[in-house]
Amino acid sequence: MATRYSEYTIESAGTSIVLSVWQADKADASIVFIPATMVHPLFYAPLLGGFAGHGFHVVGVHPVGHGKSPRGEKKYTLSDIVQNGRDAVTFALERFGMSVIVMGSSQGGVAAAALAAADNRIAAAFPHNIMLTELADSIGISRFPKFLRCVYKPAKGIFRLFATILPELKLPLGFYLKRKRISENPVIWDMVERDPLCLKRYSLRFLASLFLTEFPGLTNGGIQCPLYVVADRGDKLFTYEYTQKVFELLRAPYKELIEFHFNDHMLMVTHPEAVCERLSTKMKAVISGVAKAITEEDL
């Protein structure tokens, strides 16, 4: 199926952001995709182009200050990225006028889940990785010592204090995540280092928002659409055990854990065809059910 690629600039969260759009010749739904830490939608071009080839319009979000979006215009937090996703949903609905699925990977998966809990226009959510910052086990995602689980609340208070004192302190990825747990594939890191659109540092303000912001809608019924959490059994960053614990606490009309077995946190970059094939099939089944429900409701 032929696809067309284009870029658009929209206003979001008090600044401008760029959207990468892969448009299918014939589609039944749109996907809004939020990328992972420090990267951008074009980093996932084989995956997102693949979804378009399977019959979806795809709207890739370059979050505020990331990718092709203007740099330095706004001091942003995770909540701003969630708002970027919401404005991308509006763009997709206005441009294509069909059901919208939200999706994200890693940090983008966290944002996509939060978006699903805050926006009832969404037909389904497919976050790859998910986090509940109120769980002490969340410390295990970071490189910080595991014993901090025992003093999780005081540790979060100290983190918040430092972020208040030095909000614009720029810190590299290795400060808070272990690179080997993200990927041991040198090709991935070469892609990141060579890509001028990838960020290399985050402000302490943003990191505090990432690890401290709570989204109660995830567990109190705020999610009004089907939720499909994507996980790899061998993910060393968002471990399967942690994902299972979070998954049990999530509340949605329907929820499902979709498992892969690549032992790779970066599976959406390293195995785009397999991921696209499986998730496209699931998404089409979901949209078919949504369309049927709408038709029956209108009768």
Domain region containing 56: 3-133+215-298
Can you give the chain as a three-state secondary structure string? CCEEEEEEEEEECCEEEEEEEEEECCCCEEEEEECCCCCCHHHHHHHHHHHHHCCEEEEEEECCCCCCCCCCCCCCCHHHHHHHHHHHHHHHHHHHCCCEEEEEECHHHHHHHHHHHHCCCCCEEEEECCCCCCCHHHHHHCCCCHHHHHHHHHHHHHHHHHHHHCCCCEEEHHHHCCHHHHCCCHHHHHHHHHCCCCCCEEEHHHHHHHHHCCCHHHCCCCCCCCEEEEEECCCCCCCHHHHHHHHHHCCCCCEEEEEECCCCCCHHHHCHHHHHHHHHHHHHHHHHHHHHHHHHHHC
pTM of the model: 0.95
Q: pLDDT tens for residues 21-35?
A: 999 999 989 999 999
Find the mean pLDDT for residues 160-165. Answer: 96
Stretch among 47-61, 91-105, 282-296 having the lowest mean pLDDT: 282-296
The pLDDT value recorded for residue 3 is 80
The pLDDT value recorded for residue 145 is 85
Q: Decide if 139 is inside a domain.
A: no
Find the mean pLDDT for residues 62-76. Answer: 95
Q: Decide if 273 is inside a domain.
A: yes
The pLDDT value recorded for residue 289 is 85
Alpha-carbon gap, residue 276 to 161, rounded angstroms: 42
Q: Decide if 148 is inside a domain.
A: no
Q: Decide if 188 is inside a domain.
A: no
The pLDDT value recorded for residue 50 is 97
Alpha-carbon gap, residue 33 to 125, rounded angstroms: 10
Q: Decide if 186 is inside a domain.
A: no
* Percent of the chain at pLDDT exceeding 90: 91
Find the mean pLDDT for residues 140-151. Answer: 88
Look at residue 212 and tell me whether its pLDDT is greater than 60: yes
Say if CB 215 and CB 113 are below 8 A apart: yes
Q: Decide if 195 is inside a domain.
A: no
Q: Decide if 281 is inside a domain.
A: yes
Alpha-carbon gap, residue 96 to 28, rounded angstroms: 10
Residue-wise over 185-196: b if at least 16 C-beta within 10 A, else e?
A: eeebeebbeeee
Q: Decide if 52 is inside a domain.
A: yes
Number of structural domains in the chain? 1
- Comparing C-alpha atoms, which of 125, 3, 18 is closest to residue 62? 18
Q: pLDDT tens for residues 269-292?
A: 999 999 999 999 999 999 988 766
What CATH code is carried by the domain that includes residue 281? 3.40.50.1820
The pLDDT value recorded for residue 149 is 87
Alpha-carbon gap, residue 295 to 119, rounded angstroms: 21
Q: Residue 228's pLDDT band (boundaries 50, 70, 90)? A: very high
The pLDDT value recorded for residue 298 is 46
